[in-house]
Amino acid sequence: MEGTRHWRNVVVLWLIASLIMTPIVIFVFGPGLPPGNGSVEASGQVTDNTVLLATATPVALAVLVYLAYVCWAFRERTPEVILDGPAIRGNSSVQFWWLVVTTTLVLFLAGYGTVRLLADGAGGGQGPNPIAVPSAPGGGKPLVVQVIAQQWQFNYRFPGYGGVETNGIELPENTLVQFNVTSLDVIHSFWAYELGVKADANPGVNNVAYVTTKGPLLFHVRCAELCGVWHGYMFNQGLVVPKTQFAAWIARQEQLYAPATKTLPPYSKTYFPQPLRRGG
Amino acid sequence: MSAIAMSVPAGRRTGWRKLIGFNMLTGILLGIGGWYLGHFIGDHITGAGLAYYSAEAGENDIAIFLGYFLGVVGFLIGLGFANYPLKRLLGHPPALAEHESEAEGLFRYFTLNTDHKVVAKQYMVGIGLFFFVAGLNAMLIRTELLQPNVHVFGANQYLTLVGMHGAMMMGTMTSGLLGPFAQFVVPPMIGSRRMAFPRIESFTFWLLMAGEVILLTTIFFGGFQTGWTGYQPLGAQGTAGYDAYIGFFALVGLSMCLFGLNLVVTITAMRGRGMTWSRLPIFVWAAYATAWLMLLAAPMLIAALLMGAMDRTVQTAFYIPGQGGSAYLFQNLFWVFGHPEVYILALPGMGIVLELMPVFARKPLWGYRLAVAGMLGISFLSWFVWQHHLFVSGIDADLRPFYMLSTELISLPTGFIFLCAMGTLWRGRIRFTVPMLFCLAWMFNFLWGGISGVFVSDVPSDVTTHGSFFVMAHFHYTIMGGLVFAFFAAIYYWVPKMYGYNLNERLGKIHFWSLFIFFNSTFAPLFALGFLGMPRRVVTYNPAWQGLNDWVSISAYCIGLSMLVFLFNVVWSLLIKREPAPVNPWNSKSSEWTLPTPVPVQDFDRMPVFDADPYPYGVDPVPAGGPAYAPAGGTA
Amino acid sequence: MSAVGKRILWSTLVAAIVCVAIALYIGLYLVNVPGSAAAVSTSSGTRLYLATVPAAALNDAHPTWVSYYAVNANAQDWRHVTTYVLPAKTLVHVTIYNYDSPSALRNNFFGQSSGTTGGVITLDGQTTKGINPNNASHVFSIPQIGLVIPLQGISATAKNPCSNAPCSLSNNHTTTTFTFRTPAKGLYRWQCFVPCAAGYIAGFGGPMQTVGYMDGFIKVV
């Protein structure tokens, strides 16, 4: 039957295209997907993005191959005369299988995403009561770093080191780091790209995000939520360094910022700084 | 249906007397008067007790809001909207029609008009105008992003450009397809001569225009720095330009809400004989599904904005954390509106594509019930997904798997729409007219928009891409690649009936191909920029990304050029050349094409009776006969 | 004139008006940015003089807003500009005359000076590592190079405060001087960190968010 011939052509073309493109996507593009392998959570995102891309490839190809084929095969060849095509109003078998296949795909992706999310939090901000806490390499407690976002600079406060506040950040290798992200004024977003961390900084809220560092790394922190005129300039760099180097760095910061630390309020998960507005 | 003449119709007066009466000019004059009155009242009721207005800020938000409010009231009174309610209060009998007589000429377009065709054309011009203004702002944004370390515009002005582009596009295109097209074709499609509430129909149009003008005034008050999402408490901090944003969106919200009400009631109550629910054309179903969203979501927006206005004027602290408020409150209220809003944008486009494909594939719509299920499913599910905008905001982590699932589920009804479009093409006799080209491009673009949507709906992937240019590319592919392409498909398709003149086909094809190529060339690299780590709404960026940004900016300029081709086509074909269009240039079997061209005031002389499904293609295998279908003025 | 001719004329007229409107939008609003002031090269090194005032000049677009101004060594020649042009990789000596009263810091971190030579500033002749955060009136900071300069406010009992720019040295003021090494050539930005925008919620609206008042650029050439 004519329909069967076309149907077979589409399926064959799609299979060929998928069998070529899907491995390319997984093995050539996959390793290069963001945000790279700078941390355990970042690697998890790379895997997740690869799975999504690998699932999307045959789906996209199905639609594209089909569209290209029908536009070629079923184009009107005698435009001078208005002829109608066959009055096909539907096909319950096609509809049924489409529903089954798409539902399966969607449930698979939602399930996979959930599993990956609950495994280690995927570097995202989980709010004040995180449910996905990765385990620290070698056991022990995480290094707590408070990220204080304000218009228009990120400051970092280390409660385990005298509550010192710095405007730069270094982290030790192979360590579980707990970022307590908060804001002093408006909504910002702490995005450490190579670490695979993104957590909004909401005023009055403690947004916790975890990252497990690996080896030495230069990472870029950018604000990812519009916070006013200098949003585009709210960035800094950070480093992941060997543990001894980190210890030396933080000791230097404590010494350097000792005068400021004396004037800071006690470490707290959220702050409601005054003045709220300048008096007249 | 009796019409009471209010006075000698404006079209019959002579000279400058034509301008006297309830029309746009009177509206503008009373609007300006209202602004000054409101400002005056505001200046005099504020005192030392209201600390947020202090002489040190140099601006009085209460005066500004009152000014906008009374300005809009004055504008609407000047247009004549108060007349009918007052007349009824005074005991006059009801009247259905105002300014509908064709003897009035062009004047009927500049006043309150109850003819749905006139309102549709008012929307067409109004939406078109602000679509191009917002598009110009987009070109300017891309000009700023040509170089990371040379700033063409001021940093504050750049953020206002970003906000104006977003807000104007969102507010304008919300009614972008339904305003011009649903209002024109839904009544004939369902077998009615008018919409259920003709005065409300006109009201929604003029509200939208008033809102757009208010948005433009933001530049006189320092602009607004929050982008179109208007996040608090950043908005509360801002200069008075943010008041213009609130005024604009509140009016847009009201316009949307009333428009939705009108559509729901029209489609439910005014269907003609034989027009059962299962015979409704799919575009009407899309309008219906969208109308429910407009009706129910817009009030959320108005409430959210009203609270923001109160924070800025009378010292409430809904959104100010230090005083008991919550920044989350705004985010949640906004996105409970905002997510249905994006489906308000997408659904009419889907309806147009499914409505036009049968005409140009010469086959019935494949899977009609599945398509209806898709429309209603999208509409229903869109209420349950909004937290995906807040995945990394610090919401309770338990919520995220649920919203991930609900958001992924929405791709199922969207998939139905795709399946029905694809099925309609199967074994058809496809004609690549300009409207059909836009419909096919819609499928290509929305495919990428939808797939990238699956990425951002997946929480671990969203951690990578939230707040970056990847999200920008996703929603531009769905909104611009989807809605705007469907908008142009509808324009090329229905203009011959609405205006009675042909659009030049060659220019149409040049417009299509240049838009399609440069649209993809502009927005595809944005996926890469997002993956590389470029945040949204930034005035500077890593210099390593300049090459990509320049490519995007140049492509965007080419989109602008493509739009100029379209504008030239419109001016040339509709104003200058004016080649009369045939009654049914597309050989469509839809009922609006049984109307004569130009369409008379009363639409149908005799109301049609519907007794068959809306897509009677393929039932008559004998050639339709007659001259070939060859639109004049270009290649076939 | 024929009907078509009239329509062509109207279309051209409308198109011309649109072009003029766009030009005005761009020229009068979008590219309307404050000017710049360059550091002067003197025998004692490269010097820049700035001033901060509680309210801008009476003929300014915002006469009630706090603002930075560029001045000369004698606090004269007041220019309302916020882009400062500095030579690259050079030691620059900056003096800031502050005529404004304190309004306290939101984050006391910025009460300590950093990024300068020795990490110190000179306040009214005394070398110090920072100020009491409650006395902070403004801050001059270039976050990209870690420069933080807190500016002490004038005393509450000041007898001759300045109300609007321009001010003179006879008005009550504090003088802060510091030295820092400029980075490589490029465009950087500076801002204040004190919530000093009176009348705005959180004190960070209005002038604090507007280039030309409490924000600007550093152009290193």
Nearest CA distance, A60 vs chain B (angstrom) = 7
- Written as six digits, the tokens of B324 are 């008991």
pLDDT tens column, B62-86:
999 999 999 999 999 999 999 999 9
- Of A236, A228, A229, nearest in space to A190 by CA: A236
Q: Which of the four pLDDT bands, split at 50, 70 and 90, describes residue B323?
A: confident
The pLDDT, as a whole number, for residue B100 is: 85
Tell if the CB–CB gap between C106 and A278 is shorter than 8 Å: no
Count up the domains in chain A and report the number: 2
Tally DSSP H helices, then E strands, for chain C: 1, 13
CA distance between the termini of chain A: 85
According to DSSP, residue C171 is labeled S
pLDDT tens column, B546-561:
999 999 999 999 999 9
Asked whether the predicted pLDDT for residue B53 surpasses 60, the reply is no
pLDDT, average across residues A2-31: 93
Nearest-angstrom CA–CA distance, C27 and C23:
6
pLDDT tens column, A34-72:
999 999 999 999 999 999 999 999 999 999 999 999 999
pLDDT tens column, C100-130:
999 889 999 999 999 999 999 999 999 999 9
Interface of C with B in 55-74 (CB under 8 A): 55, 62-65
Same domain assignment for residues A192 and A118: no
Could you tell me if A89 and A163 are in contact, meaning their C-beta atoms sit under 8 angstroms apart?
no
- Written as six digits, the tokens of C211 are 């280039």
Comparison of pLDDT for A82 and B619, the residue scoring more: A82
Average per-residue pLDDT for chain C: 93
Percent pLDDT > 70 in chain B is 93
The pLDDT, as a whole number, for residue A278 is: 44
Nearest CA distance, C10 vs chain B (angstrom) = 10
C103 → closest Cβ in A148, A165, A278: A278
What Rg value do the Cα atoms of chain A yield, rounded?
26
Whether the CB of A264 is below 8 Å from some CB of chain C: the reply is yes
Whether the CB of A138 is below 8 Å from some CB of chain C: the reply is no
User: In the complex, which subunits touch C with 3 or more CB pairs below 8 angstroms?
Assistant: A, B
Nearest CA distance, A164 vs chain C (angstrom) = 9
- Written as six digits, the tokens of B18 are 């034509």
Give the burial class of B621: count Cβ atoms within 10 A of its Cβ; 0-12 exposed, 13-18 middle, 19 or more buried: exposed
Tell if the CB–CB gap between A256 and C119 is shorter than 8 Å: yes
The pLDDT, as a whole number, for residue B3 is: 41
Q: Which domain holds residue A19?
A: 2-75+99-122
pLDDT, average across residues B427-451: 97
Nearest CA distance, C17 vs chain A (angstrom) = 32
pLDDT tens column, A135-184:
999 888 999 999 999 999 999 999 999 999 999 999 999 999 999 999 99
Chain B interface with C: residues with Cβ < 8 Å: 52-58, 136, 140, 149-157, 161, 219, 222, 225, 233, 236-239, 311-312, 320, 322, 540, 571, 575-576, 578
Tell me how long chain C is.
221
Tell if the CB–CB gap between B392 and A91 is shorter than 8 Å: no
At B63, give phi and psi (nearest 5°). Answer: -60, -40
Q: Which amino acid is at B588?
A: S
pLDDT tens column, C5-22:
999 999 999 999 999 999
Q: Which of the four pLDDT bands, split at 50, 70 and 90, describes residue B415?
A: very high
Nearest CA distance, C33 vs chain A (angstrom) = 14
* Residues of B in Cβ contact (< 8 Å) with C23: none
Nearest CA distance, A31 vs chain B (angstrom) = 13
> Any long-range contacts for A129-136 (C-beta under 8 Å, 24+ apart)?
A129/B396, A129/B397, A130/A208, A130/A209, A130/A210, A130/B397, A131/B397, A131/B398, A132/A210, A132/B397, A133/A210, A134/A40, A134/A41, A134/A176, A134/A210, A134/A212, A135/A176, A136/A175, A136/A176, A136/A212
- Written as six digits, the tokens of A86 are 């066959």
Q: What is the CATH number of domain B117-594?
A: 1.20.210.10
Same domain assignment for residues A158 and A109: no
Residue boundaries of the structural domains of chain B: 19-98, 117-594
A87 → closest Cβ in B320, B363, B465: B363
Whether the CB of A221 is below 8 Å from some CB of chain B: the reply is no
Sheet containing A207-212, strands listed edge to edge, beginning at the edge strand earlier in sequence: A164-166, A153-158, A143-150, A176-183, A207-212
**Alpha-carbon separation of residue A187 from A184, A231, B222, C99 (angstroms):** 9, 11, 21, 32
Same domain assignment for residues A183 and A258: yes
* Residues of A in Cβ contact (< 8 Å) with C109: 155, 165, 167, 257, 260, 264
Whether the CB of C119 is below 8 Å from some CB of chain A: the reply is yes
At A101, give phi and psi (nearest 5°). Answer: -65, -45
Would A153 be classed as within a structural domain? yes
User: In the complex, which subunits touch B with 3 or more CB pairs below 8 angstroms?
Assistant: A, C
Could you tell me if B327 and A204 are in contact, meaning their C-beta atoms sit under 8 angstroms apart?
yes
Residues contacting residue B47 through CB under 8 Å, at least 6 positions apart: none
Whose structure tokens read 């925008």? C197
Comparison of pLDDT for C203 and C152, the residue scoring more: C152
Whether the CB of A133 is below 8 Å from some CB of chain B: the reply is no
Could you tell me if B452 and A52 are in contact, meaning their C-beta atoms sit under 8 angstroms apart?
no
pLDDT, average across residues B350-363: 96
Same domain assignment for residues A36 and A117: yes
* Residues of B in Cβ contact (< 8 Å) with C197: 57
- Of B503, B327, B289, B511, nearest in space to B414 by CA: B289
User: CA nearest A208 in B: which residue?
Assistant: B394
Adjacent-strand bridge partners of A213: A39
Tell if the CB–CB gap between C106 and A185 is shorter than 8 Å: yes
Angle separating helix axes B327-361 and B434-457, nearest 10 degrees: 150
Nearest-angstrom CA–CA distance, C205 and B224:
11
pLDDT tens column, B487-524:
999 999 999 999 999 999 999 999 999 999 999 999 99
Percent pLDDT > 90 in chain C is 88
* Residues of B in Cβ contact (< 8 Å) with C185: none
Could you tell me if C80 and C69 are in contact, meaning their C-beta atoms sit under 8 angstroms apart?
yes
**Alpha-carbon separation of residue A197 from A34, A49, A200, A236, B535 (angstroms):** 12, 15, 10, 14, 14
Tell if the CB–CB gap between A185 and C202 is shorter than 8 Å: yes
Beta-strand pair C174-181/C45-53: unpaired
* Residues of C in Cβ contact (< 8 Å) with A158: none
Whether the CB of A278 is below 8 Å from some CB of chain C: the reply is yes
Whether the CB of C150 is below 8 Å from some CB of chain A: the reply is no
Same domain assignment for residues A251 and A187: yes
Nearest CA distance, B238 vs chain A (angstrom) = 9
**Angle, alpha carbons B413-B418-B420 (nearest 5°):** 95
Q: Which of the four pLDDT bands, split at 50, 70 and 90, describes residue A277?
A: low
Nearest-angstrom CA–CA distance, C124 and C144:
27
The pLDDT, as a whole number, for residue B18 is: 76
pLDDT, average across residues A217-242: 97
The continuous run of DSSP H or E covering B169 comes out as helix B155-174
pLDDT, average across residues C45-63: 94
Whether the CB of C120 is below 8 Å from some CB of chain A: the reply is no
Tell if the CB–CB gap between B458 and A52 is shorter than 8 Å: yes
pLDDT, average across residues B206-213: 97
The pLDDT, as a whole number, for residue B621 is: 44
Comparison of pLDDT for B314 and B622, the residue scoring more: B314
The pTM for the full model equals 0.94
From the centroid of its chain, how far is CA B77?
Answer: 25
Q: Which CATH topology does C36-220 take? A: Immunoglobulin-like (2.60.40)
Q: Which of the four pLDDT bands, split at 50, 70 and 90, describes residue B6?
A: very low
From the centroid of its chain, how far is CA B538?
Answer: 26
Comparison of pLDDT for A80 and B523, the residue scoring more: B523
B57 → closest Cβ in C11, C186, C198: C198
Residues contacting residue A146 through CB under 8 Å, at least 6 positions apart: A156, A157, A158, A159, A179, A180, A181, A182, A267, A269
Tell if the CB–CB gap between C108 and A279 is shorter than 8 Å: no
Asked whether the predicted pLDDT for residue C93 surpasses 90, the reply is yes
Interface of C with A in 6-25 (CB under 8 A): none
User: CA nearest B49 in A: which residue?
Assistant: A280
Beta-strand pair C91-98/C174-181: antiparallel
The pLDDT, as a whole number, for residue B7 is: 55
ipTM of the complex: 0.95
Would A127 be classed as within a structural domain? no
Residues contacting residue C81 through CB under 8 Å, at least 6 positions apart: C34, C35, C36, C37, C69, C70, C212, C216
Nearest CA distance, B234 vs chain A (angstrom) = 6
**3-state class (DSSP) for residue A119:** helix
Residue B233, preceding peptide bond in cis (omega within 30° of 0): yes
The pLDDT, as a whole number, for residue C27 is: 94
Whether the CB of C201 is below 8 Å from some CB of chain B: the reply is yes
Q: Which of the four pLDDT bands, split at 50, 70 and 90, describes residue B47?
A: low
Q: What's the helix, strand, coil split of chain A in %, to 5? A: 45, 25, 35
Q: Which of the four pLDDT bands, split at 50, 70 and 90, describes residue B571?
A: very high
Average per-residue pLDDT for chain B: 92
Nearest-angstrom CA–CA distance, B56 and A280:
7
Sheet containing A217-223, strands listed edge to edge, beginning at the edge strand earlier in sequence: A169-172, A235-241, A217-223, A188-192, A197-201
B222 → closest Cβ in C199, C204, C210: C210
Asked whether the predicted pLDDT for residue B622 surpasses 70, the reply is no
Asked whether the predicted pLDDT for residue C50 surpasses 80, the reply is yes
Nearest CA distance, B42 vs chain A (angstrom) = 20
The pLDDT, as a whole number, for residue B221 is: 93
User: In the complex, which subunits touch A with 3 or more CB pairs below 8 angstroms?
Assistant: B, C
Residues contacting residue B316 through CB under 8 Å, at least 6 positions apart: B307, B310
pLDDT tens column, A191-222:
999 999 999 999 999 999 999 999 999 999 99
- Of B480, B567, B559, nearest in space to B517 by CA: B559
Q: Which amino acid is at B152?
A: V
Least-confidence region, from A226-230, B15-19, B449-453:
B15-19
pLDDT, average across residues B476-492: 97
Percent pLDDT > 90 in chain A is 89
**CATH number of the CATH domain containing A175:** 2.60.40.420
Q: Which of the four pLDDT bands, split at 50, 70 and 90, describes residue A4?
A: confident
Asked whether the predicted pLDDT for residue B299 surpasses 50, the reply is yes
Nearest-angstrom CA–CA distance, C195 and C217:
19
The pLDDT, as a whole number, for residue C35 is: 93
Interface of A with C in 243-262 (CB under 8 A): 256-257, 259-260
Asked whether the predicted pLDDT for residue B629 surpasses 50, the reply is no
* Residues of B in Cβ contact (< 8 Å) with A232: 535, 537-541
The pLDDT, as a whole number, for residue C200 is: 85
Q: Which of the four pLDDT bands, split at 50, 70 and 90, describes residue C32?
A: very high
